[in-house]
Chain A
Amino acid sequence: MKKISWRLVIVIGVILAAFVYVLPTFKPALWPHKKINLGLDLQGGMHLVLEVDTEKAVEGTVERIAQELKDQVRKERIRHTSIDRIEGTKISVVIHDPDNVTEFDKLLDRDFKDLRILSRSNDGESLVITMDLPDSRTEQIKKMATDQALETIRNRIDQFGVSEPDIRRQGEKRLLIQLPGIKDTRRAKELIGRTAQLEFKLVDETHDLDAALKGDIPPGSQILYQVKVDTLTHRTSKTPFLIKKRSLLSGAYLTDAKVQIDSQYNEPYVGIDFNRKGARIFERITAANVKKRLAIVLDNKVYSAPVIQEKISGGSARITGNFSTEEARDLAIVLRAGALPAPVNIIEERTVGPSLGSDSINKGLISMCIGGILVVLFMVIYYKMSGIIADFALVLNILLIAGGLAGFQATLTLPGIAGIILTIGMAVDANVLIFERIREEMSLGKTPRAAVDAGYARATLTILDANVTTLIAALVLFQFGTGPVKGFAVTLSLGVIASLFTALVLTRAIFDYLLINRKAKTLSI
């Protein structure tokens, strides 16, 4: 007697728990407020994998150090030196005047201790030194670049307004981004993928632009373009500018960026505010370059290049450029969230439209119902009364899987639905094993009760063994899979566990109840 009661208590407890967890999916107001999450393939949305070009982050750091070195050399009045960044991440220094070598070495030892010297060759006339960053520092920069990119992109998406985005790091330099239900994928990608490196640079007005376009680019300058799209004709026009390479001020000093409307032309522009340090730099450069043109460069594209009329203090500026309101809004978001430390490339993209998603749900559910009904009918015909018990277990099985999905906050995907369908087929397996065993025992002449006891006793280990292996495959799959496939592994694992429970505990409790409490003398099997 006692034995039955603990089984019944567990069974009822588990069923109730499953019910409680499943209900919020249909009535979200109910506790525990955990709905079954639908995967991107079912509700539509975008899955992106980005690769952060961390090499570029290292190059950027080296470039900055080279700049600093140049500044210091100028300050210390060490003459006849040239400093360049070569092969991406190396700094080459050539010192022509031997007198300056000791001075330079002193500077190097004092302020640039963390540079690693790769080679040093002296031919009497001039000294050539190549340096780079130690590996540990390079690794650190790369790691930080990925972390920072993740943070920045998360910020941008938060401000863009996507419900329940999933953004995480994948491996060393990849980011996985899932945006459920997103419709304007083009805009989202533009927002995510943009480096948003804002720079203020002077226009090189001492050299000839036409000569530069023909290939005679003066050192220290570069050609950048202003790209304009005519809103009416959709024609793009590119205007070249000769811009000095040296960046005077960057977006790192921004505190805010917001969309504003120009009262004169009724066009949106992005107003930016610098922090105190940025404002001071801005004031200094505008004061030093009155009547010169200052280009506002974003990701190596010139947005505008106004002539500085007078010193600008107060630390605010505006970026104009024929924006639509949407474009201006997105630009403000990326500027506020900050620049990516390195460019990112989209290396995997999966976009599912919402209509396809709902199609998939419908088809999945239909095939689940039809398959389920066929199996249920089969069990009743083949095992009669006992078949009904097994069918009851089957229905509970699905309830338990649904409860598990909601409880663990797992994601249901299309392959996940396939996993449930597969479980329907396989869940009856445990019952078939037990029933076949009971039939065998009964044909040996045992009483129904003894046959049921023996059947369960013999079949239990077999069932465990058989299901553990499926579970192993499912767990490996979970480890390996992404997105939809992971969903399959989840429902398959839940299905295996649920069917173990229903077969070994639930149906046993029912049989015991019938045979012991109701004292049934025969068994319909």
Chain B
Amino acid sequence: MQFIKPDVNIDFIGKRKIAFIVSSVMILISIASLIIHGGPRYGIDFAGGTLIQVKFLNPTAVNDIKTGLATIGLKKSSVQTFGAADNHEYLIRTDKSLMTDQEFSQEVFNALRSSTGNDLEIRRIEMVGPQVGRDLREKALFAMFFSLLFITIYISGRFELKWILSGVMAGALMGAVYALSLFHVSIPFLIGAALIVTLVLFWFLKLKYAMGAIVALIHDVSITVGIFSICGKEFTLPIIAALLTIIGYSLNDTIIVFDRIRENLRKKQKNPLHAIINRSINETLSRTILTSLTTIVVVVSLFVLGGGIIHDFAFAMIVGIVVGTYSSIYVASPILIAWQVRKKQ
């Protein structure tokens, strides 16, 4: 069986301008959504606060839960259903953290039982202090930044044999970021600036494979973050894990196309670059689609059956895989052509 015939020849590169517009629009929408919502919506892992998951034996009205919470000074909590409706499970979230009071869960239990008249079980309590939230936020940003940087060293090394050049560059960047972070420079801006510097350096040092890969990765991550923001979903630690996996996964696709481009460049040196790139994308298309398909299948099964705690993680993965597959075809490879255009001018 074969979905994609070996002689397939779709003109991907010819449509790169359309793809460029589509990608730009999506990134702009993502940024706009982030601005409108005042930044990403942080879960308690990053914002600090308290999260309580309760399960009632019988159907319970959200309002009754809220009345109960109000009696113990948790008036400003948000209450939402969690998982399937017939589970009667709710997630209570409040910004208040540092409830070191030992009686706290007992208090919640009593208040909810008397206000709803239902027996219940407190299944999970998570409390994150504001300082811990801030630390985790910074750590998450650093993790994303460092994995991007390490990956680019690897790509420049493997594809262009510029191990030392990319290594020195990445080392200098890491050192600069670390040094500045000691002076309490705002971490998000710092890492944003570092990424821009990275891109500019790649451009001038002509590390084109690394440039293609990193642009594709930033593209994937920002669109996934944007979709999360549009859907009003929260950023938690597992979501960061999902984003990092998306980085690894999307790169997987990109590298396979790059590998083929390099192989074909050696074989058919006479052909123009964009033809070779297009040929390579077509040759690997079958594999790209198949792998994305099998991965999507398992992630969807996780999304549907995995339960509430892992739901958002699976959602992020689905978005990331779709966007990642698109970007390895339409974003990473066309960037390689950018240098050719530059040379001509």
Contacts and interface: CB of A to CB of B under 8 A. Distances in A.
Partners in one complex: yes
Interface of A: 41, 49, 51, 185-186, 189-190, 193, 345-353, 355-356, 359-360, 363-364, 366-368, 370-372, 374-375, 378-379, 381-384, 414-415, 418, 421-422, 424-426, 428-429, 432-433, 436, 439-440, 443, 458, 461-462, 465-474, 476-477, 479-482, 484-485, 488-489, 492
Nearest to A351: B125
20 contacts: A345-B129, A347-B98, A349-B126, A352-B123, A360-B307, A367-B301, A367-B304, A372-B298, A384-B1, A415-B310, A425-B291, A425-B295, A439-B2, A466-B252, A469-B154, A473-B247, A474-B248, A476-B143, A484-B237, A485-B237
Interface stretch (B59-67, B102-110, B177-185, B189-197): B102-110
B244 A473 contact: yes
A350 B126 contact: yes
Contact of A476 (B1, B147, B154, B251): B147
B301 A382 contact: no
A215 B106 CA distance: 36
B105 A421 contact: no
B205 to A, nearest CB: 20
A431 to B, nearest CB: 10
A458 B124 CA distance: 50
B297 A470 contact: no
Given A346-B100, A414-B309, A484-B238, A476 B302 contact: no
B24 interface: no
A429 B284 CA distance: 12
Contact of B6 (A426, A439, A474, A479): A439
Given A189-B102, A428-B294, A462-B259, A347 B123 contact: no
Given A186-B106, A443-B6, A436 B287 contact: yes
Nearest to A373: B301
Given A429-B291, A480-B140, 16 more contacts: A185-B105, A186-B102, A346-B100, A351-B105, A355-B121, A367-B306, A371-B298, A422-B299, A426-B294, A429-B294, A458-B263, A465-B259, A472-B147, A476-B146, A480-B139, A481-B241
Contacts of A41: 309
A347 B126 contact: no
Given A472-B150, A472-B154, A425 B241 contact: no
A473 B151 contact: yes
B291 A190 contact: no
The CB with the most chain A CB atoms within 10 A, among B140, B244, B300, is that of B244
Secondary structure of the A contact surface, majority rule: helix
3 closest A-B pairs (Cβ-Cβ)? A425-B295, A473-B248, A371-B298
B69 interface: no
B319 to A, nearest CB: 14
Contacts of B103: 186
Contact of B129 (A347, A379, A436): A347
Contact of A353 (B106, B124, B150, B286): B124
Contact of B128 (A348, A465, A488): A348
A394 to B, nearest CB: 10
A381 B297 CA distance: 15
Nearest to B133: A348
A513 to B, nearest CB: 25
B306 A363 contact: yes
A440 B100 contact: no
B108 to A, nearest CB: 12
B287 A371 contact: no
B287 A481 contact: no
Contact of B291 (A347, A364, A432, A492): A432
B127 interface: yes
Nearest to B287: A436
B290 to A, nearest CB: 5
Nearest to B284: A436
Interface in B217-253: 237-238, 240-241, 244-245, 247-249, 251-252
A350 B124 CA distance: 7
A503 B132 CA distance: 42
B255 interface: yes
Interface string B265-309: 000000000000000000110110011011111111110111101
Contacts of B158: 465
B178 to A, nearest CB: 14
B309 A370 contact: no
Contacts of B304: 367
Contacts of B291: 425-426, 428-429, 432-433
A469 B255 contact: yes
B327 to A, nearest CB: 14
Given A352-B123, A485-B240, A492-B245, A433 B294 contact: no
B127 A349 contact: yes
Given A355-B123, A472-B147, A418 B6 contact: no
Interface in B131-165: 131-132, 139-140, 142-143, 146-147, 150-151, 154-155, 158
Contacts of B100: 189, 193, 345-346
B78 interface: no
